């Protein structure tokens, strides 16, 4: 081989070796699996159990939402209703299984046999209770239960959320509630409705009975936002029902329009054990029409500033792939593509082509960001209101 060709061959070989060495330097091989190092008790940050539900066509939205609220310390249960196909459930399972940290910590489950849910019917409430009972069974260490849907998105990181909740009593429940039923008494509570998803085993529209009932004497009916953050102890009370109150109210609520706006609120406010653990807020940012319709308006980029200033933990509702979600990812969550939201537990090098959460260290550590400050101020105000009211449920 001529000298000049040897020199060229050596140069190319050296370049290839250098490139190989460079790529190996930025290897994204996960660090030693560390689920055994996870600690959960009052000396460590709180953990959350997320029940995340969706409908047909929501597999990608549920996956994005999961990534946005993911943390190794938490537990997650995903559910696509019966209007979704088995193929969608398999797709969601494949997406979840593609994330190495989730494969390692094994803290995400999917409901294999979906629930039949009817809009405005009590089968939706039954699905939430079933989700809560599963989370109670599969994980004994989490502190609060949070229900999200594919229309929701977080406004804080999980490090922010756990940091702020570290100063909160772990028996407190965040439930927007009131005993002033107003027009809901005649249109929601007194009419008797039948949910085919609950009684007939099929999904459809609720239908009304010809008669109405009287308001009960044995307990007082409360209503409010269906979006709740419940303590583990209260959810256990609702699921296990060691006295008759949860079961009585479950039977009463099964024939109510939108029982999710009544059940938890009425159980907690009629229970001597839990009635003073209610913080009157749902921790959500929502915008309503005037007069309000059945659902809040869809949020967009014009709502971003108000969302950030609200001090809320979550917001709803969002259209699929709404541009403001990308803003939240970039400016608040610091999340890119199909990656989980980074936290103090992520120790890998951060760049456009490497995911810092492919390597991890102490999963019990927290590093709250600047957006935790507004949420902390909001939480402090809520707790002040809670402490200064002798009985949260008399309104």
Tens of pLDDT, residue by residue over 49-67, are 999 999 999 999 999 999 9
Confidence of residue 221 (pLDDT cuts 50, 70, 90): very high
Kindly report, residue by residue over 242-264, the tens digit of the pLDDT.
889 999 999 888 888 888 899 99
pLDDT of residue 182: 83
Q: Which of 11-15, 87-91, 215-219, 307-311 has the lowest mean pLDDT?
A: 11-15
Per residue, what are the HEC states of the chain? CCHHHHHHHHHHHHHHHHHHHHHHHCCCCCCCCCHHHCCCCCCCCCCEEEEEEECCCCHHHHHHHHHHCCCCCCEEEEEECCCCCHHHHHHHHHHHHCCHHHHHHCCEEECCCCCCCCCCCCHHHHHHHHHHHHHHHHCCCCCEEEEEECCEEECCCHHHHHHHHCCCCCCCEECCEECCCCCHHHHHHCEEEECHHHHCCCCCCCEEEEEECCCCCCCCCCEECCCCEEEHHHHHHHHHCCCHHHHHHHHHHCCCCCHHHCHHHHHHHCCCCCHHHEECCCCEECCCCCCCCCCCCCCCHHHHHHHHHHCCCEEECCCCCCHHHHHHHHHHHCCCCCCCCCCCCECCCCCCCCCHHHCECCCCCCCCCCCHHHHHHHHHHHHHHHHHCCCCCCC
Kindly report, residue by residue over 85-123, the tens digit of the pLDDT.
999 999 999 999 999 999 999 999 999 888 877 777 778
Residue 323 reports pLDDT greater than 60:
yes
Kindly report, residue by residue over 336-346, the tens digit of the pLDDT.
989 999 999 99
Kindly report, residue by residue over 345-365, the tens digit of the pLDDT.
999 887 667 889 999 989 999
- Higher-confidence residue of 200 and 24: namely 200
Return the percentage of the chain with pLDDT > 90, whole number: 61
Residue 229 reports pLDDT greater than 80:
yes
Strands 75-80 and 48-54: parallel
Kindly report, residue by residue over 384-394, the tens digit of the pLDDT.
999 887 556 86
Residue 327 reports pLDDT greater than 70:
yes
Over residues 366-388, mean pLDDT: 93
pLDDT of residue 23: 29
- Higher-confidence residue of 265 and 27: namely 265
Q: Rounded to a whole number, what is the distance in angstroms from the first to the last CA of the chain?
A: 93
Strand partners, 346: 360
pLDDT of residue 290: 77
pTM exceeds 0.85: yes
pLDDT of residue 204: 58
**Rounded CA gap, 395 and 255, in Å?**
25
pLDDT of residue 20: 33
pLDDT of residue 7: 39
């Amino acid at each position: 081989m001529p000298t000049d060709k040897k020199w060229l061959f050596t140069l190319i070989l050296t370049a290839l070796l250098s490139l190989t060495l460079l790529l190996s330097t930025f290897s994204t091989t996960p660090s030693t699996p560390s689920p055994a190092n996870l600690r959960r008790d009052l000396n460590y940050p709180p953990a959350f159990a997320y029940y995340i539900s969706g409908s047909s066509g929501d597999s990608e939205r549920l996956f994005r939402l999961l990534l946005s609220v993911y943390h190794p310390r938490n537990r997650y249960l995903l559910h696509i209703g019966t209007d979704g196909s088995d193929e969608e459930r398999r797709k969601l399972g494949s997406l979840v299984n593609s994330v190495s940290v989730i494969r390692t910590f094994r803290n995400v489950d999917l409901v294999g046999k979906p629930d039949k849910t009817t809009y405005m019917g009590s089968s939706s409430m039954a699905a939430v209770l079933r989700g809560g009972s599963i989370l109670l069974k599969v994980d004994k260490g989490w502190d609060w239960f949070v229900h999200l849907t594919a229309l929701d998105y977080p406004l804080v990181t999980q490090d922010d959320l756990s940091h702020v909740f570290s100063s909160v009593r772990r028996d407190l429940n965040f439930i927007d509630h009131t005993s002033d039923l107003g027009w809901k008494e005649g249109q929601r509570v007194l009419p008797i409705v039948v949910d085919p998803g609950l009684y007939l085993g099929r999904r459809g529209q609720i239908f009304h009975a010809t008669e109405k009932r009287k308001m009960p004497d044995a307990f007082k009916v409360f209503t409010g936002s269906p979006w709740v953050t419940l303590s583990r102890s209260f959810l256990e009370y609702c699921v296990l029902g060691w006295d008759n109150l949860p079961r009585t109210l479950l039977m009463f609520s099964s024939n109510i329009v939108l029982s999710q706006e009544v059940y938890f609120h009425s159980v907690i406010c009629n229970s001597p054990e839990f009635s003073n653990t209610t913080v009157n807020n749902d921790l959500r940012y929502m915008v309503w029409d005037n007069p309000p319709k059945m659902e809040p308006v869809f949020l967009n980029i014009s709502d971003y500033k108000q969302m950030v200033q609200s001090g809320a933990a979550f917001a709803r509702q969002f259209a699929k792939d709404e541009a403001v979600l990308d803003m939240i990812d970039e400016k608040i969550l610091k999340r890119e593509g199909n990656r989980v939201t980074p936290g103090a537990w992520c120790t890998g090098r951060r760049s456009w082509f490497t995911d810092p959460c492919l390597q991890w260290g102490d999963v019990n550590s927290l590093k709250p960001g600047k957006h935790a400050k507004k949420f902390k101020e909001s939480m402090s105000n809520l707790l002040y209101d809670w402490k200064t009211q002798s009985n949260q449920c008399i309104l």
